[in-house]
Structure formats: C-alpha cells, structure tokens
Amino acid sequence: MQIRPYGDTANDGVVQLSFTLPLPLGSRAHEAARRYAMLMGISNPYVAHAESVDTSFSFFVIYGTCSYTLDPEQILVDELAHAELDFYAINDLIEKELGRRVTVIGAAIESDAHTVGIDAIFNAKGFAGNYGLERFPAFRALNLGAQISCEALLRRASAEQAEAILVSQVVTQKNVHIHNLTKLIELAEAEGVRDRYLMIVGGPRISHVFAKELGYDAGFGPGSTAITVASYIAQELVSRKG
C-alpha cells in the first residue's frame, strides 16, 4: 500500500511546511521561498503566510503538493513493548516483585537549562493528568534539575544507589544533544557502571529508536507522561531480575 499526505482529499499529497530564509521580506523573498519549496519536491507551491522575522530574515508557510509515496509496511520500528499500567498496578508490581523502593534519578545534563520536561516526569503534581514519579510510593525519585554535568550525575547516581538514570535533552541546535548524550554513556562505560542502571532519555527530538542508537535503554519523545515511563521502569526491572 502506497501512501501520500492527506490535504483536501485522500492521497492528494497536499502538505504545509514552514521555514525561514535569510532575506528581507519582499517580492524576491516570496519568489525565493516558492522556488526553494519546488527544489524540495513540492509542486504548485503557494505562499500561505509570510512574515518578517528581523530586518534580514523572513518566515514562510508554504502550501503545495508532494508527489512522493511510501509503503508503511516496509518500515521496521523498534518500539517499547511494555504495557501501560496504572498508578496502583505499578506500585503493586514493584512491591510484590522487587520488594524494595526503586531509586530513580533525573536531570537535564550539561548545557541544557530546560527543566519543564524533566519536571513533568518527576514532579508529584504531575503533567497531563498523571502523577509524577515523586508521587509513587514505590519510587524514591530524585530530580537534580538542569545543567548537571555527566560526571556529577553519575557520582550522585552511585551515591544514592539509583537503579535508573533519567536524562532530559531539549536543545538540539548543532546536535549538542547527541554530544551530551554520548558523553554520558561513554563516561558510564569508562567507569564500568553502564549496566548498573536503566539509562533513559527524553525530550522533544528523542525517539526510542534514536535513544537505542545512542546506547540508551529507552527513549521518550514529546507528550510523554510519568505513567508511561514508570510502567517501563517497573516492568523492565522485573524482567531483568528474572
């Protein structure tokens, strides 16, 4: 089965995309945006919105038709296979199967100062109708905050006898997240402690497949909630015990 995006009618290939060009807003910038969209394989591009970002930059929203098709059956994905449990089932599973509180430690590492994502997963009050990890009796949840160096995070994880390390990376400019995430894994390997922890990463540009590529056990992207992460940690620790 070949698919294309859906705009006005099924499989018409109609898409909307946005980008910024280093040109002042005007007729030349409009035409440059249209031509650039054509170079990207968009036919009949229409500038639906144009706005000046600064004296020498313009932002465009383009509407047009894309002819490429793909067969979704040919795509193999590495998805987390764990069931989503509820708050009570997670606490029960840990209590019955592990018989101890599980210490989890989290931080936004290195230069990243964004705390809202890691807080959404940790804070007792939670996010999107789910309690955060701090609210689960089965977890001892330590949120170190932002701009924590990889060295400091590993030191604290060891001192607290953590079983899972949860890292947040929001800034992806110039692939800084890849550099930071790789550094943490390499440091853990160099210290011989990589297998001591479930290593988990989350952020707006993170997927499970990408996290695995970087050497993590699991990755969580936009819209993640504590319940999904807690379900994974509980079931994964139980299966590793087995």
Catalytic residues: 125
Please name the helix (run of DSSP H) or strand (run of DSSP E) that holds residue 217, with its range, or none.
none
**Nearer to ligand B12 among residue 114 and residue 196 (C-beta):** 114
Kindly state whether residue 144 participates in binding ligand B12, applying the rule CB under 6 A: no
Binding residues for ligand B12, rule CB under 6 A, total: 29
Residue 66 carries which side chain, given as an amino acid letter? C
What gap in Å lies between CA 40 and CA 222, rounded to an integer? 26
Q: Is 105 helix (H, G, I), strand (E, B) or coil?
A: strand
Contact mark string toward ligand B12, 155..174, x via CB under 6 A: -----------xxx-xxxx-
As a whole number of angstroms, the distance between CA 161 and CA 31 comes to: 60
Minimum CB separation from ligand B12 for residue 170, in Å?
5
Q: What is the layout of strands, in order, in the sheet containing 42-54?
A: 14-21, 57-66, 42-54
Least separation in angstroms between CB 118 and ligand B12:
5
Spell out the alpha helix ranges (H) of 102-160. 116-122, 150-159
Of 127 and 210, the one with the shorter C-beta distance to ligand B12 is 127
Lay out the site mask for ligand B12 across 178-207 (x = CB under 6 A, - = otherwise).
----------------------x-xxx---
**87 and 20 Cβ atoms separated by less than 8 Å:** no
Regarding 149 and contact with ligand B12 (CB under 6 A), the answer is no
Residues 6+ apart with CB under 8 A from 239: none
Mark the segment that binds ligand B12 (CB under 6 A) among 22-30, 67-75, 112-120, 179-187. Answer: 112-120
Contacting residues toward ligand B12, per CB under 6 A: 106, 111-118, 120-121, 127, 166-168, 170-173, 200, 202-204, 220-224, 229
